[in-house]
Chain A
Amino acid sequence: MPGREILPYWSVDGYRSTHTMTNHDTGSPFAPHTPDETAAMLAAVGVDSEEELFDIPDEVLFDGEFGIAQRSEQSVIDETKAVLGENSDLAEFLGRGHYDHYVPSWVDHVADRSEFLTSYTQYQPEIAQGFLQALFEYQSMLVELTGLPVANCSMYDAATALGEAATLASRARATTGETVLVPELLDAGRREVVENYVAGTDMRVESYPMADGNADVTALERRMDDDVALLYAETPTVRGTIEEQLTELGRLAHATDALFCLGTDVVALALLEEPASVGADVVVGGAGSLGLSTSYGMGLGLFACRERFLRQVPGRLVGASEDTTDRRAYTLTLQTREQHIRRERATSNICTNQAWVALRAAMCIASLGPDGLVELANDCVKGAQELAGKLDAIDGVSAPVHDRHHFREFVVRVRAAPEMRTKLEERGFAVHAVDDHLLQVCTTETNADERDRLVAAMEELA
């Protein structure tokens, strides 16, 4: 504001300034130096200017500009809002590995407390007990949900967690197997990620056939041999079907000495068969649906495994110990697995992870409680069933295509899927077109109120 005199910043002797904090206009608004302070600090260092502090040869000095104008906070907010306003307002019926559930308001408020949000990885545990305990509690919840004794603090997302499981198999297994077997209907993005994670190993990724949306156990039995290092199955699958032969899949994997890795998600775990009980050695999947909005795909990868892989686990682990008052206290532990100590022999390169998302997921799980979480999972089955039933009643539409139980989502046969998808989008609905004749529809409590409108729109278009 030109002309307005701003009171000089001063506090106590030695910090008195005769100038305003000009940085608000000409520098970083988050660097608090007044010109007097800058001058005093330069003098203390023994140089005349900030430039002198930089020991950069002339030939690599940057003398251009980025061409990015400095803007006010209000202007950045207003403009970002305007740009994001270009996103269409659609009722989303999308899933395929990434789901939306309601996040209670208190979770946003408490997780946003700056002591959580602006803290660092807990290298100094004495000053970071709060976050460590929250992560320990998150690990414990996953231990309960998976039945496996070891769960880490987080991976980036379901795809990278699967990638880490594949590299674990390459390290942990004494035999010579070099194949990671994945379902042929695995999400294409997830498959690309796994292929990248095994690029540095001798492993290769191969798919096995599926039958009516589940693993084709007969075909798989023929394929299994000593060359398989890891058998990966999902429940629910990418098409929303609940895998019915998990115990058999676990048996097949172990018969050839392969690891059985199960991909699932945090809500499904509350209801479906416990992974440990079907022989899962490693459980991976997404947990971001509890705690995060859809966030254009930002996630939280869960990772749990059997005790015998403890020293092979990727990422952070929080353990309990005692402090000098003999009280229970928490700390990052078994860090000799990690990159900052083991370098190129680390179990993974992961450092920064999704800790704050794990905190939010734990808060959501705690908020739901066991009955709330099971009820949410039951609703994922019933909601899909009901919506599929209503769509199936439309002439020219059949749903679900697969004769299976479904979780949240299912595949629908229509006459022309891409056209139907486009027209639904014009009417305000986002659904996925699988191919020329198949659509995929996903429903949870967050779009439950839109189900009937979707049915009406599809009836009109069918």
Chain B
Amino acid sequence: MRYDQARWTEDEDRYEPLLAEKRSTEVAIDSTDSALPADLTRESLTLPELSEPELSRHYTRLSEMNYGIENGPFPLGSCTMKYNPSFTEDIAALPTGSVHPDRSEESVQGTLELLYRLQDYLGRIGGMDAVTLQPPAGAAGEFTGILVAKAYHETNGNDRTEVVVPDSAHGTNFASAALAGYDVVSLPGGDDGRVDLDALTAAVGEDTAALMLTNPNTLGLFERDITEIADIVHDAGGLLYYDGANLNALLGRARPGDMGFDVMHYNVHKTFATPHGGGGPGAGPVGVVEELAEFLPEPRVRPTEDGDGFELFSPERSIGRVHGYHGNWLVLLKAYAYIARLGDAGLTDASAKAVLNANYLASQIEYDIPFGPFHHEFVASATSDAADVAKRMLDYGVHPPTTKWPETVDQALMAEPTEIETRRTLDALAEAFNAVAAEDESTIETAPQRTAARRIDQADAARNPRLSWQALAENADEQ
């Protein structure tokens, strides 16, 4: 497979010019029909001023210099880049679904019903008793879940100060626990890439509020000792938190609730196929066991007592809101549609094929994969710099794996092909992996060649921050 990304080039200094470089206009406010006294207004506003055809072409060109899941394979480990079914976009665009969040409950019965259904679906899929849909992203879900755990401990007169996180966990786990005010205790991994029970026993105690765990873990390994892990944490009075980033490995085969987890978040933009949108929006619903339900954010949705409709309610000891309104509703709607489309059979098959694809890809590449058996993703070890290998893979029309993480594996390449790829594509992917491994260092170090931009100087971007076209102009003036 070979790839040449579109590359629009204006001159020797730049690719597609910035909007402001195409045409910009300054408008003086006092020249406009303003109803405000001058002391309450700004003086002027300078912004790009282009016609619709110019703008449409500008952004279409930018889209051509961008790579999405519909362009080609995207085996970015930990990110679950699966196909985002188009019909879910149509559903999210339904005008009847776009209502103001301050409307009366009576006037948004349709929206409330779908929210309730999604709460219910997610509860069943995760084996959880109660679900909030409010957190607008996975990290927001983690923060919410840890705040719920904190409220639970405080209600029990328990002033616990620590959250334990395996050192191979997603960075958000550490940051979310810290944001909630906890000291983070980093748990070193065992030799087999899993939680070391002795290390865990030593790490947890009366200060432990929770252990945050993803399962399968970031090496793709199922924490086989999960029941013992749950017992150790629970015996110490702590709660077990499930990071849902890797749930695409387990649908229909194992549920966090059955493994002893007390609280979890779902990444609907991973497991339930809502688009990543170049970085968001996602949604990070949180599920909890019965004991924790009273602490969930307000409001939640439930059927009315007479069973005729749906209503919002505040859980008794709610931690309050974590989003200004009801979270990323349009994203939740797409997730609902995906789950309704696939049902039990589709969801279970999605995980089976995701795991099959990862294992098949691994079997076809000539890289060391030190840990296994893995599930929906695996971590290979590159013989040269993993970041360079990734850059070269771009030239083969492949979004490369996640690089240099987790650090347990030297020069890590973390690959997650998801269920959507055919054997044919996986073979092409494997060829890309293998071709790069056979190439000489100079080819790899000067890659990529076929993308819109060539290798970008990251260090210079950080050393000399230019974060706006205004800063670029100032920078040019200084030189």
Query: Which A181-202 residues have a C-beta within 8 angstroms of B?
Result: 187, 189-190, 192-193, 195-197, 199-201
> Complex: how many Å from CA A292 to CA B330?
10
* A-B residue pairs in contact (CB < 8 Å), sample of 28: A27-B346, A28-B350, A33-B356, A45-B359, A66-B344, A76-B87, A98-B102, A114-B70, A124-B399, A125-B453, A125-B458, A126-B451, A130-B62, A139-B467, A200-B181, A200-B182, A296-B325, A310-B465, A327-B454, A339-B172, A344-B177, A352-B139, A355-B281, A366-B47, A366-B58, A370-B47, A370-B49, A374-B29
Residue of A45, A111, A201, A352 touching B137 (CB-CB under 8 A): A352
Residue of B124, B221, B277, B461 touching A356 (CB-CB under 8 A): B277
Q: Mark B87-128 against chain A: 1 for CB-CB distance below 8 A, else 0.
A: 101110111111111111011111101100000010011010
* Neighbouring A residues of B300 by C-beta, 8 Å: none
> Complex: how many Å from CA A135 to CA B277?
12
Asked if A298 and B330 make an inter-chain contact with CB atoms under 8 angstroms apart, the answer reads yes
Is B276 interfacial (CB-CB < 8 Å)?
A: yes
Query: Which B442-479 residues have a C-beta within 8 angstroms of A?
Result: 446, 448, 451-458, 460-462, 465-472
Query: Which A72-108 residues have a C-beta within 8 angstroms of B?
Result: 72-73, 76-77, 79-81, 83-90, 92, 94, 96-98, 100, 104, 106, 108
Is A382 interfacial (CB-CB < 8 Å)?
A: yes
Is A151 interfacial (CB-CB < 8 Å)?
A: yes
Asked if B465 and A120 make an inter-chain contact with CB atoms under 8 angstroms apart, the answer reads no
Residue from the set A325, A363, A366, A385 with the largest chain B CB neighbour count within 10 Å: A366
* Neighbouring A residues of B102 by C-beta, 8 Å: 94, 96, 98, 430, 432
* Neighbouring B residues of A298 by C-beta, 8 Å: 136, 281, 325, 327-331
Asked if A62 and B96 make an inter-chain contact with CB atoms under 8 angstroms apart, the answer reads no
* Neighbouring B residues of A119 by C-beta, 8 Å: 66-69, 276-278
Asked if B346 and A28 make an inter-chain contact with CB atoms under 8 angstroms apart, the answer reads yes
> Complex: how many Å from CA A319 to CA B98?
34
Residue from the set A42, A115, A167 with the largest chain B CB neighbour count within 10 Å: A115
Asked if A193 and B100 make an inter-chain contact with CB atoms under 8 angstroms apart, the answer reads no
Residue of A100, A342, A366 touching B55 (CB-CB under 8 A): A366
Per the CB 8 Å criterion, the residue count for chain B at the interface is 205
Asked if A197 and B179 make an inter-chain contact with CB atoms under 8 angstroms apart, the answer reads yes
Residue from the set A120, A192, A356 with the largest chain B CB neighbour count within 10 Å: A120
Give the Cβ gap from B335 to chain A, nearest Cβ, in Å. Answer: 12
Asked if B137 and A68 make an inter-chain contact with CB atoms under 8 angstroms apart, the answer reads no
With A70-B344, A92-B99, A114-B68 in contact, do A120 and B276 touch (Cβ < 8 Å)?
A: yes
With A131-B62, A145-B45, A158-B324 in contact, do A29 and B91 touch (Cβ < 8 Å)?
A: no
Query: Which A136-156 residues have a C-beta within 8 angstroms of B?
Result: 136-137, 139-141, 143-145, 149-151, 153-154, 156
* Neighbouring A residues of B446 by C-beta, 8 Å: 324
> Complex: how many Å from CA A92 to CA B104?
11
* Neighbouring A residues of B250 by C-beta, 8 Å: 56
**Interface with B: A47-55, A251-259, A393-401, A449-457, which one?**
A47-55
Asked if B20 and A140 make an inter-chain contact with CB atoms under 8 angstroms apart, the answer reads yes
Number of A-B contacts (CB under 8 A): 673
* Neighbouring B residues of A357 by C-beta, 8 Å: 277, 280-281
**Interface with A: B10-18, B197-205, B234-242, B433-441, which one?**
B10-18
Asked if A242 and B390 make an inter-chain contact with CB atoms under 8 angstroms apart, the answer reads no
> Complex: how many Å from CA A415 to CA B250?
58
**Interface with B: A216-224, A225-233, A268-276, which one?**
A268-276
**A247's closest neighbor in chain B, by CB?**
B39
Asked if A71 and B360 make an inter-chain contact with CB atoms under 8 angstroms apart, the answer reads no
> Complex: how many Å from CA A345 to CA B67?
32
Q: Mark B225-241 against chain A: 1 for CB-CB distance below 8 A, else 0.
A: 01100000000000000
Residue of A41, A150, A338 touching B467 (CB-CB under 8 A): A150
Asked if B171 and A329 make an inter-chain contact with CB atoms under 8 angstroms apart, the answer reads no
Give the Cβ gap from B82 to chain A, nearest Cβ, in Å. Answer: 7
Residue of A127, A295, A336, A343 touching B98 (CB-CB under 8 A): A295
Residue of A120, A310, A363 touching B279 (CB-CB under 8 A): A120
Closest 3 CB pairs of A and B: A297-B325, A200-B181, A356-B277
**B34's closest neighbor in chain A, by CB?**
A378
Residue of B276, B282, B346, B461 touching A70 (CB-CB under 8 A): B346
Asked if A116 and B321 make an inter-chain contact with CB atoms under 8 angstroms apart, the answer reads no
Asked if A118 and B275 make an inter-chain contact with CB atoms under 8 angstroms apart, the answer reads yes
Is A6 interfacial (CB-CB < 8 Å)?
A: no
With A83-B113, A117-B84 in contact, do A29 and B341 touch (Cβ < 8 Å)?
A: yes
Query: Which B33-64 residues have a C-beta within 8 angstroms of A?
Result: 33-37, 40-43, 45-50, 52, 55-56, 58-64
Asked if B344 and A69 make an inter-chain contact with CB atoms under 8 angstroms apart, the answer reads yes
Is B347 interfacial (CB-CB < 8 Å)?
A: yes
Asked if A327 and B55 make an inter-chain contact with CB atoms under 8 angstroms apart, the answer reads no
Asked if B172 and A116 make an inter-chain contact with CB atoms under 8 angstroms apart, the answer reads no
**B309's closest neighbor in chain A, by CB?**
A86
Residue of B143, B357, B467 touching A318 (CB-CB under 8 A): B467
**A317's closest neighbor in chain B, by CB?**
B467
> Complex: how many Å from CA A44 to CA B462?
45
Asked if B60 and A110 make an inter-chain contact with CB atoms under 8 angstroms apart, the answer reads yes
Asked if A31 and B467 make an inter-chain contact with CB atoms under 8 angstroms apart, the answer reads no
Is B190 interfacial (CB-CB < 8 Å)?
A: no
Asked if A117 and B15 make an inter-chain contact with CB atoms under 8 angstroms apart, the answer reads no
**A24's closest neighbor in chain B, by CB?**
B346
Residue of B87, B181, B321 touching A189 (CB-CB under 8 A): B321
Residue from the set A40, A136, A370 with the largest chain B CB neighbour count within 10 Å: A370
> Complex: how many Å from CA A240 to CA B107?
24
Query: Which A341-372 residues have a C-beta within 8 angstroms of B?
Result: 341-346, 348-357, 359, 363, 365-367, 369-371
Asked if B356 and A106 make an inter-chain contact with CB atoms under 8 angstroms apart, the answer reads no
With A76-B340, A270-B45, A371-B32 in contact, do A84 and B114 touch (Cβ < 8 Å)?
A: yes
**B249's closest neighbor in chain A, by CB?**
A54
